[in-house]
Structures are given as structure tokens and as C-alpha cells.
């Protein structure tokens, strides 16, 4: 559904109001920002197989503007003439500096996540295209669009419920708070279960399967 349809749904839950659209839009934006910080991120925000450009003689890559959090799968790159990728294992900044002093160059071996960049060590002497997965920020609902949170294939009630709770509290509407709380909690439970099921589907539980 698009943003305006979500607004109508929230107004319905507030007693079929029709005069609250601008405020509800702000609550949707507010709720999205909150849901994307400090919480388990839903699977639909995972951006897979994205490319980063690592230039020769530089160990810094700018993070994408929509970056939220790194995914479990480590970054990887393929050296010319090889088919199997090499992996960049995540380390902290101190480990990077202690293990690979700045004068050393060669194929990168570790990656360090900083505030706005990814640093690799050692500094590569040639350029590489690095592939990685990360959780991304959904498009903010500043216009009447359908973003990942409102996609009917996922669970738009998670965002609608959270925004509805905030709006209902502002209006001191206890019945609406209960209605939207139940909507939000049910949607989040479904999202959590779906995320777990997708993770389990990638694991082979046969003895020796990973040997």
C-alpha cells in the first residue's frame, strides 16, 4: 500500500477521522526512524549482493547513504584469474592497526566498520570490486510512495500499528492505543517468525553437512 492508504487506515482506527493526515504522516516517519534503530531488523531491509568500489592505494570505502547495519555474511571479492572469492573478515579498528601497519600493501584481508566508511587492511595495491550484504534504511515517507515497510508482501501493519499507537496516545484515545498496539505486536511477531524461518532454511542440520 502507499503512504496515503496507510494514513486512511490509521484515521479509521482513530474513529474514522478525516482531519489528521498531516500529523499522521509525521508519525509514520517518526515510527519508521525508531523501528530502524536499536532493534532486530526485518528480513525485507536486507540488501544482498551490493557492490563497493575499492580503489588502488586506498583502504577506505564510503558507506552507502542508506546503510543501517552490516549483515552476517562477510564482504568478498574475486581476484582476476580466480573463480572462488576471497573474504574480508570483520575486525575492530585496533586489530586492523596492530595487524597491518599503514605502509604494508597487498590484497585486503580484513574490514573495519567506521562511522561513515569501511576500512580495509592491508591497503590494496590494485582496485577491487567488493560484494557485500547490509541492512538498508527504507525510503522515508515524505511523499505518497510505497516503501519496504508498507509493501503488502511483508507486514505494513508493523509500521501502521506503531504510528497509530503514537497518534492515539497524542489524542489520549485509550481504545485506539489498544487497537494499534495489538496490530503492531501481531505484525512484529509474524515478521520475527518469518525472519527465523528464513534463517533456518539456509542451515543444513545433517551431521557432517558443513565438513
Higher pLDDT, 172 or 83: 172
Q: Do 170 and 182 meet the contact criterion of CB atoms below 8 Å apart?
A: no
Q: Which of 90, 107, 136 marks a domain boundary?
A: 136
pTM, 2 dp: 0.86
Q: Does residue 141 lie within any of the structural domains? A: no
pLDDT confidence of residue 103 = 60
Residues 51 and 129 in one domain: yes
Q: Does residue 143 lie within any of the structural domains? A: no
What's the total number of domains in the chain?
2
Task: List pLDDT tens digits, range 125-180.
Answer: 899 999 999 999 999 999 999 999 999 999 999 999 999 999 999 999 999 999 99
Residues 58 and 124 in one domain: yes
Domain extent for 87: 46-136
Q: Does residue 208 lie within any of the structural domains? A: no
Q: Which of 136, 168, 187 marks a domain boundary?
A: 136
pLDDT confidence of residue 203 = 47
Q: Which of 136, 170, 187 marks a domain boundary?
A: 136
pLDDT confidence of residue 206 = 46
Q: Does residue 210 lie within any of the structural domains? A: no
Residues 106 and 132 in one domain: yes
Residues 54 and 126 in one domain: yes
Q: Does residue 190 lie within any of the structural domains? A: yes
Residues 124 and 175 in one domain: no
pLDDT confidence of residue 87 = 94
Q: Does residue 209 lie within any of the structural domains? A: no
Q: Does residue 26 lie within any of the structural domains? A: yes
Residues 103 and 175 in one domain: no
> In DSSP terms, which residues pair with 54 in a beta bridge?
128
Residues 82 and 112 in one domain: yes
Give the per-residue SS3 of the chain. Answer: CCHHHHHHHHHHHCCCCCCCHHHHHHHHHHHHHHHCCCCCCCHHHEEEEEEEEECCCCCEEECCCCEEEECCCCCEECCCCCCCCEECEECCHHHHHHHCCCCCECCCCEEEECCCEEEEECECCCCEEEEEEEEECCCCCCCCCCCHHHCCCCCHHHHHHHHHHHHHHHCCCHHHHHHHHHHHHHHHHHHHHHHHHHHHHCCCCCCCCCC
Residues 98 and 132 in one domain: yes
**Cell numbers given for 51:** 557492490
Amino acid at each position: 500500500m502507499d503512504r496515503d492508504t496507510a494514513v486512511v487506515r490509521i484515521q479509521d482506527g482513530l474513529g474514522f477521522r478525516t482531519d489528521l493526515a498531516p500529523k499522521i504522516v509525521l508519525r509514520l516517519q517518526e515510527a519508521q526512524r525508531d523501528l530502524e534503530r536499536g532493534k532486530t531488523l526485518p528480513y525485507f531491509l536486507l540488501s544482498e549482493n551490493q557492490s563497493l568500489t575499492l580503489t588502488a592505494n586506498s583502504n577506505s570505502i564510503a558507506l552507502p547513504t542508506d546503510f543501517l547495519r552490516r549483515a552476517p555474511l562477510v564482504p568478498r571479492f574475486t581476484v582476476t584469474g580466480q573463480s572462488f572469492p576471497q573474504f574480508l573478515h570483520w575486525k575492530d579498528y585496533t586489530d586492523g592497526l596492530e595487524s597491518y601497519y599503514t605502509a604494508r600493501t597487498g590484497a585486503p584481508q580484513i574490514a573495519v566498520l567506521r562511522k561513515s566508511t569501511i576500512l580495509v587492511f592491508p591497503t590494496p595495491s590494485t582496485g577491487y570490486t567488493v560484494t557485500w550484504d547490509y541492512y538498508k534504511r527504507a525510503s522515508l515517507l515524505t511523499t505518497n510512495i510505497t516503501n519496504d515497510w508498507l509493501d503488502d508482501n511483508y507486514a505494513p501493519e508493523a509500521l501502521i500499528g506503531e504510528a497509530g499507537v503514537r497518534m492515539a496516545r497524542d489524542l489520549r484515545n485509550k481504545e485506539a492505543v489498544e487497537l494499534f498496539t495489538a496490530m503492531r505486536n501481531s505484525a512484529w511477531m509474524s515478521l520475527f517468525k518469518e525472519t527465523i524461518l528464513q534463517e533456518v532454511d539456509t542451515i543444513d542440520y545433517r551431521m557432517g553437512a558443513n565438513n
